Structure 1
Amino acid sequence: MITVRTATPADAAELVRLRALMFEAMSGAAAPGEWEATAETVLRERLAAPPQELTMPAFVVDDPGRPGRLAACAVGTLEQRLPAPGHPDGLFGFVFNICTDPGHRRRGYARACTAALLEWFDARRATRIDLHATEGAEPLYRDLGFHEHSIPLSRTKLLRQ
């Protein structure tokens, strides 16, 4: 049985480590830099919010053989937009960090963390949840109910450290 728990501020450094592994899996490299310290600070602050004010949930599976180390995670954010037809509360979710440590892959950890995150969004009545998926992870997300959604335009401005 897989035990998923809600991440705490004490998990911030491990969540950043897994985030770097996610970037390596996506692009072959994750350049270390200031982003890591900033990400850890943001996670510590956001995960410390009272449950009713939490907008950046994270769910994790602990590494069973290494106390203090995470085997997998799923992190997202809840955004308040203006309500609209079909979105009466105006709550939207975005999943931006799902990763399993290479030594723990193919055990269902990412699925369990993602399912917990989706349940969290559902409990808050988020009517749409978006994510960007690698080709290899697409079957998992499709199995969890994700499908293509048209986003016609996007603007990206990358900042260099």
Structure 2
Amino acid sequence: MITPRAARPEDAAELVRLRRLMFLAMNGRADPGSWERNAEEITRRELAGPDPHLIGFVVDGEADEAAAGAGAPHLAAGALGWIDERLPSPVNPTGRMGFVFNVCTDPRYRGRGYARATTEALLGRFAQQGIGRVDLHATDAAVPLYRSLGFTEHSTPLSLDLRRRPSAEVG
């Protein structure tokens, strides 16, 4: 039986490594850059906070040298989620919403059920916190997993993707 544990601040670097692996799997690129340092800082801060928006569950990797590369501690998999609060509405009386992102399993550990286990733990934590609406964006490869967990298409598709230019560029 797979028992994920709650992500901790000291997991930040490994969670960013898994995020990089996720991007590589999604689009064949794992562009390094300042985003990694920023992501690690935010992850560490949010996981340490008294009322974090970021929550996550992880599965630790095997401690043997062959899997870990000189015995370095690492994560086999992780699932992160963000808690957002908006004004309540008739369909969301608490106003609290969850967003699942950064579900990734290190290639050395794929096919063992870790993505399912960490995502189920994350959804359980959302439920414990009274979050009834949970959104996510899925790759084609992940759609079957998320459908099996009860996710469906949005009833109202997004029609616009607007980006605002920085104020210095507005003329």
Q: Does 1:151 align with 2:149?
A: no
Q: Radius of gyration: which is bigger? A: 2
Aligned-residue RMSD, C-alpha: 1.6
Query: Which consecutive residues of structure 1, in runs of 5 or more, have no partner in the other structure?
Result: none
**What stretches of structure 1 move > 4 A for 4+ residues in a row?**
156-159
For the residues of structure 1 that align with 2:86 and 2:7, how far apart are their CA atoms? 25
Deviates more, 1:39-48 or 1:150-159: 150-159
Match 2:134 to one of 111, 125, 129: 129
Counterpart secondary structure, 2:140: coil
Q: TM-score, normalised by structure 2?
A: 0.87
Match of 1:62 in 2: 60
For the residues of structure 1 that align with 2:6 and 2:24, how far apart are their CA atoms? 25
Match of 1:22 in 2: 22
Deviation sequence 1:112-154 (CA, Å, 0-9, x none): 0000000111111112111110101100000001110023333
For 2:135, give the aligned amino acid.
Answer: D
Q: TM-score, normalised by structure 1?
A: 0.92
Q: Does 1:78 align with 2:53?
A: no
Deviates more, 1:129-138 or 1:145-154: 145-154
Query: Which consecutive residues of structure 2, in runs of 5 or more, have no partner in the other structure?
Result: 167-171
For the residues of structure 1 that align with 2:49 and 2:143, how far apart are their CA atoms? 31
Equivalent residues, number: 157
Deviates more, 1:29-38 or 1:123-132: 123-132
Q: Does 1:12 align with 2:19?
A: no
Match of 1:39 in 2: 39
Question: Percentage identity across aligned positions?
Answer: 54
- Cα drift, residue 48 of structure 1: 0.2
